[in-house]
Amino acid sequence: MLLEVFLVLGTVIIYFLLSKKKEETLPFKEGWWGKGQKPDTEEDTTVRPFKVETTEEELSDLFRRLDQARFTEPLENSCFHYGTNSVYLRKVVSYWKNQFNWKKQVEVLNKYPQFKTKIQGCGLNDSPVGLAAYILEKFSTWTDIEFHNLEDGGIERKFNLDDLLTNIMIYWVSGCIVSSMRFYKENLQKGIGTQKHERLTVQVPTGIASFPNEVMHTPQAWAQKKYTNIVSFHFMPRGGHFAALEEPELLAEDILQFVGKVEKEQLWRKKGE
Structure confidence by residue, pLDDT tens digits, 63-101: 999 999 999 999 999 999 999 999 999 999 999 999 999
Q: Check residue 157 and give its pLDDT.
A: 96
Above 50 in pLDDT, residue 9?
no
**Under 8 Å between Cβ of 214 and 208:** no
Number of H helices, E strands in the chain: 12, 4
For 177, residues 6+ apart whose C-beta sits below 8 A from its C-beta are 123, 124, 131, 134, 171
Amino acid symbol at 203 = Q
Q: What is the DSSP letter of 237?
A: S
pLDDT digits (tens, 9 = 90+) for 16-38: 444 455 667 767 666 666 677 77
pLDDT digits (tens, 9 = 90+) for 170-223: 999 988 888 888 877 777 777 777 777 778 899 999 999 999 999 988 899 999
For 227, residues 6+ apart whose C-beta sits below 8 A from its C-beta are 201, 202, 206, 208
Q: For helices 161-174 and 177-188, what crossing angle results, to 10°?
A: 90
Task: State how far the alpha carbon of 113 is from the alpha carbons of 49, 90, 244, in Å.
Answer: 7, 34, 19
Radius of gyration for the chain, computed over Cα atoms and rounded to the nearest angstrom? 25
- Alpha-carbon gap, residue 69 to 113, rounded angstroms: 35
Q: Check residue 253 and give its pLDDT.
A: 97
* Percentage of the residues of the chain whose pLDDT score is greater than 70: 86
Q: Check residue 267 and give its pLDDT.
A: 87
- Alpha-carbon gap, residue 68 to 221, rounded angstroms: 52
- Alpha-carbon gap, residue 152 to 95, rounded angstroms: 14
Write out the DSSP string of 162-200.
HHHHHHHHHHHHHT-HHHHHHHHHHHHTT-TT-SHHHHS
Write out the DSSP string of 106-172.
HHHHTTS--EE---------S-HHHHHHHHHHHHHHTT-GGGGGSTTTTHHHH--HHHHHHHHHHHH
* Percentage of the residues of the chain whose pLDDT score is greater than 90: 64
By mean pLDDT, which of 124-133, 155-164, 207-216 is the weakest? 124-133
Q: Check residue 40 and give its pLDDT.
A: 77
Amino acid symbol at 17 = L
